[in-house]
Amino acid sequence: MNVFLVTSPFQYLCAEEALHTYNTQNNILLLVKQNSEPGISQEASLLDRKKWQYIIEIPRISRSKHVPKAIKEIKKLTKGKCVDHFFHAEYMAWRTKLILRNLPINKEVYFDDGTLTVSEYDESIRPETVYYRPRFLQDLVIRLKGCKPIGHLEQSKNLELFTIFDIEKPKHIIVRNELNVLRDTYKTQELFDENAPIGFIGQGAIGHKRRKTIEQYISEIKHFSSDNQKQVLYFPHRTESEELRKEVEKIPNLRYHASDLPLEIELVDKQIKLSALVGILSTVQYTSTLLYKDMPIFNLESNIEVKDMTDLNIARIERLKKLFLGQGIKNIKI
């Protein structure tokens, strides 16, 4: 049997791709439920229950209670035998590591949850970082629920990656995600129209600590919108706040499009024609180079300084810039 741990709509898309590529049988989907919109609606639209032999749904709250319960259910389904593959998209997550500690697994496969793959590979996977984050009360609850606390957990000897990204000089086996299921299911096609609006991909975590303020972000979009004669079609990040939405909707020459599906699918599902697609180191920019070959795709650079940005975040940004340039995504400055 195989276990797929999924915590977001994009992860679900990658899980379906892995299901097809690895051609696995007897699959358990361990689905961490979305707790807000539009994640709830996107999850409901994407989930195809017919593709999975078993589905175990767990809430995001009370992890110490619900994850051990799910592990017990998996052990019951596998009858104590080894899990053939454990697929997941959060390498350094507590939930992932607890499953690895408590289930016998033949092969661990890390797939994408956006550009996080690129950072986690160089920061944790390549150096084979040992996971250790003790929590006294949490570990006590884990024991009471019949599971082993994570403790010190070394990297799996049988780890490989299933990814859309071009990892530079990898130390591990890399299986490329060519997005074949998405292409076949949604019939991705030509969406470029030189007379259509310019698509702008919204950023996540705006207004959060060590991120752009709402004021900075709005200033960037206003500048970009005013520099272009064509209308800007704005696609918000699924975690965007209502406060931010109200400010974005005030911008002249901009139309706000609240997506019902992950943007890769939304464009095809709604037949949205674009003359270009612009973002700021967004996963959708990268996937779009694979899905829409003739679409001009750009990365937006600005001179706005983010307060208290860490060296780690700066390194992540520079790493992604290099990756995107290698994929043919050109930089434009405002």
Question: pLDDT by residue (tens digit) across 37-77?
Answer: 888 898 989 999 999 999 999 999 889 999 999 999 999 99
| pLDDT-above-70 percentage for the chain | 99
Q: Is the dihedral of CA 263, 265, 271, 274 positive or negative?
A: positive
Q: How much is the pLDDT for 141?
A: 94
Per-residue confidence band for 188, with pLDDT thresholds at 50, 70 and 90: low
Q: How far apart are CA 109 and CA 163, in angstroms?
A: 10
- Residue 24, token pair as written in the block: 């696995």
pLDDT of residue 294: 84
CB of 98 closer than 8 Å to CB of 132: no
Return the structure tokens found at 307: 């307060």
Confidence of residue 157 (pLDDT cuts 50, 70, 90): very high
Q: Which of 7, 284, 323 is nearest to 165 (CA)?
A: 323
189 or 276, higher pLDDT: 276
| Residue 285: per-residue pLDDT | 95
β-sheet bridge partners, residue 115: 113
Strand order in the sheet with 232-235: 254-256, 232-235, 198-201, 276-279, 297-301, 330-333
Q: For residues 214-236, give the mean pLDDT.
A: 90
Tokens of 267: 């464009």
Q: Across the chain, what does the average pLDDT equal?
A: 92
Residue 185 has pLDDT above 70, yes or no: yes
243-293 confidence digits (pLDDT tens): 999 999 999 999 999 998 999 999 988 989 999 999 999 999 999 999 887
Across 236-323, where does the E strand assignment appear?
254-256, 276-279, 297-301
Rg (CA), the chain: 21
Contact 68, 103 (CB under 8 A): no
Model confidence at 134: pLDDT above 80:
yes
Of the candidates 155, 83, 149, the one whose C-alpha atom is nearest the C-alpha of residue 120 is 155
Residue 304 pLDDT: 67
pLDDT recorded at residue 109: 98
Query: What is the per-residue pLDDT for 319?
Result: 92
> Residue 15, SS3?
helix
pLDDT score of 12:
95
**Interatomic CA distance for residues 281 and 278, integer angstroms:** 9
For residues 204-237, one letter each, b for 16 or more C-beta atoms within 10 angstroms of the residue's C-beta and e for the rest, the string is eebeeeebbeeebbbebbbebbeebeeebbbbbb
DSSP symbol at 210 = T
- pLDDT exceeds 70 at position 132: yes
- Report pLDDT for 212: 85
**What is the residue whose two structure tokens read 């299921």?**
181
Q: What is the pLDDT of residues 78-124, one digit of tens each?
A: 998 999 999 999 999 999 999 999 999 999 999 999 999 999 999 99
pLDDT of 334 strictly over 70: yes
The mean pLDDT of 177-181, rounded to a whole number, is 94
Reported as a single tens digit per residue, the pLDDT across 292-309 is 878 999 999 877 677 777
